[in-house]
Amino acid sequence: MTRTLAIEPVESRSKDIGETGSGGDEPRVDGAAIIYRLYDVGYAISLEDASALLGEQTRGRVRPLRVEARAIQIRNPPLVVALGDHEVVVGASRCSATLTARLFDFGVCSFQLRVDAPAGLAWSEFTAFANALAESSRPASIIDVELPALLSRIRGAIERPALAPISEDYRIYRIGRITAGSATEQRTTMAESQTDERLVALLVGEHRRLATTARRELIPYRFSYYDDDLAVLSWESALVIEPRVDDHDIEYVLEFANAQLLELRVFDLQLDEELPALYDRVEAARARSWPRSSGRFRGVLSDLQTRVADVTETVERVENALKVTNDVYLARVYTAALDLFREQAWRRGIDRKLAILRETYAMLNGEAQAARMELLEIAVIVLILAELVLGIVRR
């Protein structure tokens, strides 16, 4: 069923989307905005069971298609789920939209809403279209409706189902056809023709002229493989210019990187919440009426050991879900995305918290061992005293 969702134009915009702009030399584009929202829905998802539960809605397991994608190893490709068509109103234009979801075996459900822009927009008009979607919270309401419905259908395929309190958002602006405006642009490659001002306005929403250093920080990565393609990455969004309709490999690796980032953020949050609770449990164990009992930390130690093993195993599984074996184009885009998302910083934070858990385990285990030795020493002393007393009595 097709539903209509209205998105109000930005107040500062002087003309409706689709209305011809004044810049005659601007390039004109045919493209779309793809809005991603990713959720952690459980410890793991059995993709085979999910496929059986969803039936005809599934669209199979997908991998990158380029030749150089052989340098990327994906242990368990995500499952694609079709969730229907929608109609989204942006400014004065009614745009068709398609909602799909990808299920990752490490417990992430990624929704993507593709909103097709009107054909032949000038670059400034396409930027206005993109900014309108970015500034509106209403497209997320489509996903908010579909999320519980999808989770209820695949619940039997989710191990330890639980919706994490945080999600990850990302936007990709996909341009399939671009007509160069000026004669200079017609003689340059796609990467050379896209100015920093255009890219910053589209990806960051900043229309004032920025300093060179600020532009480099906001859009640090640009990649091209052919003269007619371009990928530009920023923290919250990316631009993909790709004339081949069936080539979605850049979007694929960017979505994968966002899914991995979400998992690291979720585990970091969980460890942040668990450390204070751990300290409270340790203090409660020490305050028991028999403080030198060797078994007072047994429950805490067991939970600590399980939690450390659980987090370590899951983080390794997430990071090994997609492995790069060679420095080719797609691999460089993927690695740059991880660097841009500060994946190593999140991983170091998790490692520090895991180190605290391991140190706490070692400390409590040592304390329990010391208590056990004290009890043995007391028992030996009691036995010696008993022998002395019995010897005296026998005399």
pLDDT tens track for 251-278: 999 999 999 999 999 988 988 887 776 7
What is the C-alpha separation between 57 and 77, in angstroms, rounded? 17
Closest CA to 23 of 116, 127, 118, 117: 127
Cβ contacts of 139 within 8 Å, gap of 6 or more: 5, 7, 35, 88, 97, 113, 115, 133
Q: How many CB atoms lie within 10 A of CB 226?
A: 13
Provide the token pair at 258.
């966002």
Confidence at residue 187, expressed as pLDDT on a 0 to 100 scale: 53
Cβ contacts of 177 within 8 Å, gap of 6 or more: 29, 30, 31, 243
Question: For residues 386 and 322, is the Cβ–Cβ distance under 8 A?
Answer: no
Do you know the residue count of the chain? 395
What is the C-alpha separation between 274 and 338, in angstroms, rounded? 26
Please name the amino acid found at residue 118. P
pLDDT surpasses 50 at 85: yes
What is the C-alpha separation between 24 and 17, in angstroms, rounded? 16
- β-pair type (221-223, 121-122): unpaired
Q: Express each pLDDT in 289-340 by its tens digit.
A: 454 555 566 667 677 777 777 788 888 888 888 888 777 888 899 999 999 9
Closest CA to 57 of 152, 153, 147, 157: 153
Measured between its terminal Cα atoms, the distance across the chain in Å is: 101
pLDDT surpasses 70 at 75: yes
Q: Express each pLDDT in 354-378 by its tens digit.
A: 888 777 767 776 666 666 677 777 7
Closest CA to 344 of 251, 254, 285, 260: 260
Average pLDDT over residues 110-123: 93
Which residue is it, tokens 């959720």? 39
Q: Give me the phi and psi of 388, to 5 degrees please.
A: -60, -45
What is the C-alpha separation between 80 and 104, in angstroms, rounded? 9
Confidence at residue 285, expressed as pLDDT on a 0 to 100 scale: 63
Asked whether the CA dihedral 250, 253, 255, 261 is positive or negative, the reply is negative
Please name the amino acid found at residue 84. G
Confidence at residue 30, expressed as pLDDT on a 0 to 100 scale: 93
Question: For residues 117 and 34, is the Cβ–Cβ distance under 8 A?
Answer: no
What is the C-alpha separation between 121 and 123, in angstroms, rounded? 6
